[in-house]
A and B are shown apart, each in its own frame.
Chain A
């Protein structure tokens, strides 16, 4: 079992868990993820390693409660408790290239997984422009933490309650115009946002890396459930990714495959909500 040592709630649906796992803290690199089972009956849920502390021996996950399994994590995972199973770090670590100037884009929850990459670029001596997007200012988290690894920091909100009134793509566009010498963009967030980022940079021919989140089971390359189409070839996101060239990813394919289990997910969620109400 894997003890939960701290928890922070960012909003009604988003929370952070810090888990004691010294070996994983030592091995983790930016861009990697874990697979978590809350209990014996649970699904295998992939979650990005949002931070790691080699001294304390912990890794940090930031989770958005979207369905049964993540809701159950939200309800069940408390400090002092533990997690039934956690395996990782999985996936190929992000390539921290020797780009001189990069834009690190995080949309919503994507702010968490992009953070270790922004930090790694900063440590490698790059000029880092952070662009983060939220629906509204009250959903924002890790502002100070993120700022501390950025040379410039741009906030975008859908409702204009903070920073630019608009999408992260506007923030990217502005930065590209202001600098003219951006070598690389790294974007993590919902697939639709990543696609929009890739479309924004395509005309400028700026290398754009995205982190894909298809439905996974084992995370070891054994089931093929996580297959995505990149440059018209099948790739398994858990062992060939999760990072891919955003200009080559077939996002329509990813989006449609993410809906594969919608009826079952709805059923599971309704059942879970009912059982919670009864308690």
Chain B
């Protein structure tokens, strides 16, 4: 068969249906429906099967992308799924939430230097992940049990990926989670309309099927320490994947007014505690009618789109840089724009103003312009003198980043770096023997796939540490 070229492949991406913005901004159903079989197969046709695939290098966990697409083209979906899951534990999740434009798709030969859209790698991955959930596929390579017991702290993507690999290697694995439900950010952060809980539940069920035990309501550090897990509780190794967590505020006047909260709080109330269904569920939400969200990353987008769905009449995004620098996934930004969020680029809040009852009523902003590049290479936003203006907001949500959760640092002798994140070497070993760490608590806020990759890498190091042959 002749090699495909840019000119011979279907020029347009295969169609994937999405909910109409008018309709979806009022419900929590998933925004994108995913490919059907026919369109998935059409999209596979667009892959050039590059001999030196850039996409693989672009994926943080080096998924054999042309490999799984080739199997799909042979209609061997099961084979494609197995190949996919050689590298990723969470295809249905990452297919949905990876920032593909910065990773696999960003370097795909179809999109680079052309005006074509790259192969929709993420959507194909999601297709296979969903098919596996629907058909109940499990990769049950025969597990040979060993005598090792490993504890995982935190049930986010890092913890789950580490648990899966160690369970497959024969270890008895227990995941400890502080909240009453597992999943980490996948559960309490990313909303249903981007990542349905049924998908998270399916991934958790897969882990349980591998023999992984989940123990929720366990705050490690306080109920028992990392050291106690090794010394008294009989664990041979520990993996820490507790996420970053602790939200930042700006320290401007008015921040403690009522109606001012972090995106983490808003999303936790809504996603984990079902505050949107108050009073059927007991947790209140207290969302106003005019919501302003500060920041424009994925967390900000989620907070804005959740607010719309919970009935806010106006949702404003305030971001001090320009649209070009917006760190969110492109798709989320576009979806938010379609759903009616108003964006104030190059705008920075300087003060929050309240009423006599200490409720926030408006937000004072200053216009910014882009100056010289800063350490991150992005042009630094600088305030334009005298450009202050106010607009009304009765809810103000901060989504400007997080710092490391302090609990394990407070309660153990584990080495931290100067920012308070857990210090590790290249193998993800921490300063405590037998204790490994990965995900946001090591790197700072990053992505699901990076956390998952770190979990797998740590599992590999733990296997070597315990002397388990692969």
Contacts and interface: CB of A to CB of B under 8 A. Distances in A.
Query: Which of B217, B246, B274, B280 gathers the greatest number of chain A CB atoms within 10 Å?
Result: B217
B14 to A, nearest CB: 39
B251 A234 contact: yes
A27 B282 CA distance: 29
B256 A257 contact: yes
B249 A227 contact: yes
A139 interface: no
A79 interface: no
A89 interface: yes
Given A41-B281, A87-B217, A220-B178, A24 B223 contact: yes
Contacts of A68: 282
A225 B217 contact: no
A224 B410 CA distance: 18
Contacts, number: 124
B278 interface: yes
Report whether over half of chain B's contact residues are helix, strand or loop; otherwise say mixed: loop
B19 interface: no
Interface string B275-313: 000111111111000000000000000000000000000
A264 to B, nearest CB: 4
Interface string A42-61: 11100000000000000000
B258 A224 contact: no
A143 interface: no
B224 A217 contact: no
A221 B403 CA distance: 10
A44 B283 contact: yes
Interface in A14-30: 23-24, 27
Interface string A121-153: 000000000000000000000000000000000
B255 interface: yes
B246 A224 contact: yes
A231 to B, nearest CB: 13
Nearest to A91: B222
Contacts of B188: 222
Contacts of A181: none
A245 interface: no
Contacts of B247: 222-224
A222 B246 contact: yes
A264 B278 contact: yes
A225 B256 contact: no
A234 B255 contact: yes
A264 B284 contact: yes
B249 A42 contact: no
Contacts of B282: 41-43, 68-69, 268
Contact of A259 (B216, B222, B258, B281): B258
Interface string B158-179: 0000000000000000000011
Contact of B222 (A88, A229, A264, A265): A88
Contact of A32 (B222, B278, B283): B222
A69 to B, nearest CB: 6
Sorted nearest first, the 4 A-B pairs with minimum C-beta distance are: A264-B284, A223-B265, A224-B262, A43-B282
Interface of A: 23-24, 27, 32, 37, 41-44, 68-69, 84-90, 92, 217-225, 227, 229, 234, 236, 239-240, 253, 256-257, 259-261, 264-265, 267-268, 271
Interface of B: 178-180, 188, 216-219, 222-224, 243, 245-247, 249, 251, 255-256, 258-259, 261-262, 264-265, 268-269, 273-274, 278-286, 357-358, 398, 405-407, 410
17 contacts: A23-B223, A41-B280, A43-B273, A85-B180, A87-B218, A87-B219, A220-B178, A220-B407, A222-B245, A222-B264, A224-B265, A224-B398, A236-B246, A256-B357, A259-B258, A260-B286, A264-B279
